[in-house]
Amino acid sequence: MSTDSPLFDRIRISPRGNKAKENAVPTCEFPGCTNPGTYKAPKGRQHEGRYWHFCLTHVREYNAAYNYFEGMTDEAVQAYQKDSLIGHRPTWTMGSSNSKNRKNGSDVPERDWAYSDPLGILKDAQLRAQAAKQPEVKQRVIPGTVRRALETLDLDETADAQTIRVTYKRMVKKFHPDAHGGDRAFEERLREIIKAHAVLKAAGFC
């Protein structure tokens, strides 16, 4: 979107009669942004005269998205919103979108945009900002003792419980003195394997 678009010009100008001095610049209201919200964008139908405060980047992004929806039927807009929500939340757990629930590990405050974000533009941006922070939350943490135990069984951290159990049984058989005609040479190895299995079991890995 170019800066000489009519919409951009319109929203750049402060509405008449702003009695409150403009010395206190609000923060950009785009989810996850902390830049000064120097620019205003209309909140849209049924919210005439009300504005979002955005930084230059986000007022452009918002207007671009807003223009994109112009001419769309309400059903088409809703279909788009539904698609984009599903598409942008791969690791999103259902139920954490409750406004009082912030255990998604994000520092982007949950907000109910619906009252003034009929197109879902901001909600969508918020979900993207949160999704970007998700990956590390879901990562399985492997303690050193568990990692070493897995190595003892010739496995790595990708091994699931079933693989661990099967491998353990196979190795116990393989290194048991009975399998070597009573030769106790493999006894130490067998002891390590049994110990490793106990560690994995205690840690809930099998």
Judged by the rule CB under 5 A, the positions of this chain that interact with Zn ion are 28, 30, 33, 35, 55, 58
DSSP state of 93: P
Please list the alpha-helical segments (H only) found in the chain: 6-12, 56-69, 74-87, 121-133, 135-138, 144-152, 161-175, 187-202
Q: Which is nearer to Zn ion, 52 or 205 (CB)?
A: 52
Evaluate whether 117 touches 77 at the Cβ level (below 8 Å).
Answer: no
Q: Which is nearer to Zn ion, 65 or 199 (CB)?
A: 65
Q: Which is nearer to Zn ion, 33 or 119 (CB)?
A: 33
d(CA 107, CA 104): 9
Q: Which is nearer to Zn ion, 37 or 118 (CB)?
A: 37
* E strand or H helix that includes residue 129: helix 121-133
Radius of gyration (C-alpha) of the chain in whole angstroms: 29
Residue 126 C-beta: closest distance to Zn ion, Å: 12
Residue 14 C-beta: closest distance to Zn ion, Å: 18
d(CA 158, CA 43): 48
Residue 104 C-beta: closest distance to Zn ion, Å: 21
Q: Which is nearer to Zn ion, 41 or 171 (CB)?
A: 41
Contacts of 74 (CB under 8 A, 6+ apart): none
* Helix, coil or strand: residue 36: strand
DSSP state of 110: P
User: Quick one: tokens of 44?
Assistant: 């849209």
Residue 30 C-beta: closest distance to Zn ion, Å: 4
Residue 64 C-beta: closest distance to Zn ion, Å: 14
Q: Which is nearer to Zn ion, 106 or 152 (CB)?
A: 106
d(CA 49, CA 56): 20
Residue 35 C-beta: closest distance to Zn ion, Å: 5
